[in-house]
Amino acid sequence: MTDLAQQAAAAWGLGHARLRFVAGRENQVYRVTVASAGHYALRIKRPGYRRSIELESELQWMAALAQAGLLVPKPVPSLRGHLLEEVDGHQVDLLTWLPGQTLGAALQEDPAPDIDHLFHALGQQMARLHEASDAWVPPAGFSRVRWDAEGLLGEAPVWGRFWEHPALSADDRQLFEHFRSAARRELQRLQDRLDFGLVHADLVRENVLLHGDRIGLLDFDDGGWGYRVFDMATTLLKFIGSPTYPTLRDALLRGYQAVHPLDLDTLDLFLALRATTYVGWVVPRLGEDGGLERSQRYVTTAREVCQRCLPRLPAA
């Protein structure tokens, strides 16, 4: 893949730059170091994961967010003036490299950071992301995934039919099918109340970057149209078993609402919806290293949050 990365970098005139592999899942990501110009992120896309128009739309959105003043990676045009290039059958882009420390790394430090201050600031930045997205007019042809009722619970969800995960017990399958039906009814009932627009959809601790007193947002691969509270649930879900969860939850919500009003009565529903998406996501990845362990963890979490949420949903 390094030869491909070198070839791809050449499309930006960086064929002789130093490349270092830093991550690989949906994208193969390389850090590109140029002595005279600093660092960039070269992303080689996973074939078939997104259509070209979706990839171009992601980059247009990120450019608009950077223009609005948010700390996000900024797409860099190639020598031909394109944000996206095809190299040897792979779609490739180049982004500015954001310095800083991930939220996950910061939370491991001793002494631990002030989580009330940190998550309050993160809530504010999440709200700014949503407001900047609302203020932007997407160009003609803009296309991104939809985390709406169909994308979460329909016949072909964005991340797969979670209720058909092959390793589910009979009880878990019944639970997830019951939750799916009840959640669809609830989203139908609430559709006029829910704030809907462009969302990041993956603001987990690895995609939040701390740089001085600023918060950067990384990895818009899964961003698209969705319910704004879905972003809140995505951030919170990974902390739901932590003893600090009540503190960081309250701080995140207060921070968000200090910038943008949001009805948070549905947060528990969206925590369960977010948890079930991971159950679907892991199915085609069960054969990867650690896939079975991740699957078990995702199913356990989804079971717990669905069991807590279901009694609060109206019966058929």
Domains of the chain by range and CATH?
2-96 (3.30.200.20), 101-312 (3.90.1200.10)
What pLDDT is stored for residue 34 in this prediction? 87
Q: Is the pTM of this model over 0.85?
A: yes
Please check whether residue 148 is in contact with residue 225, taking contact to mean a CB–CB distance below 8 angstroms: yes
> Tell me: the pLDDT tens digits for 201-217?
999 999 999 998 999 99
Tell me which amino acid residue 145 is. V
Looking at per-residue confidence, does 57 or 110 come out higher? 57
Minimal CA–CA distance to 204: which of 283, 89, 273, 105? 105
> Tell me: the pLDDT tens digits for 259-282?
999 989 999 999 999 999 999 999
Segment 83-97 shows an average pLDDT of: 94
What pLDDT is stored for residue 25 in this prediction? 74
Segment 1-11 shows an average pLDDT of: 87
Burial of residue 135, with CB atoms counted within 10 A of its CB: 0-12 exposed, 13-18 middle, 19 or more buried: exposed
Whole-angstrom Cα distance, residue 81 to residue 300? 47
Segment 83-94 shows an average pLDDT of: 94
Neighbours of 36 (CB within 10 A): 4
Residue 26 has pLDDT above 80, yes or no: no
> Tell me: the pLDDT tens digits for 229-265?
999 999 999 999 999 999 999 999 999 999 999 989 9
What pLDDT is stored for residue 38 in this prediction? 86
Give me 53's structure tokens: 């128009």
Whole-angstrom Cα distance, residue 244 to residue 254? 16
Residue 49's pLDDT band (boundaries 50, 70, 90)? confident
What pLDDT is stored for residue 54 in this prediction? 96
Segment 163-190 shows an average pLDDT of: 96
Residue 1's pLDDT band (boundaries 50, 70, 90)? low
Across the chain, mean pLDDT equals 94
- CA distance between the termini of the chain: 52
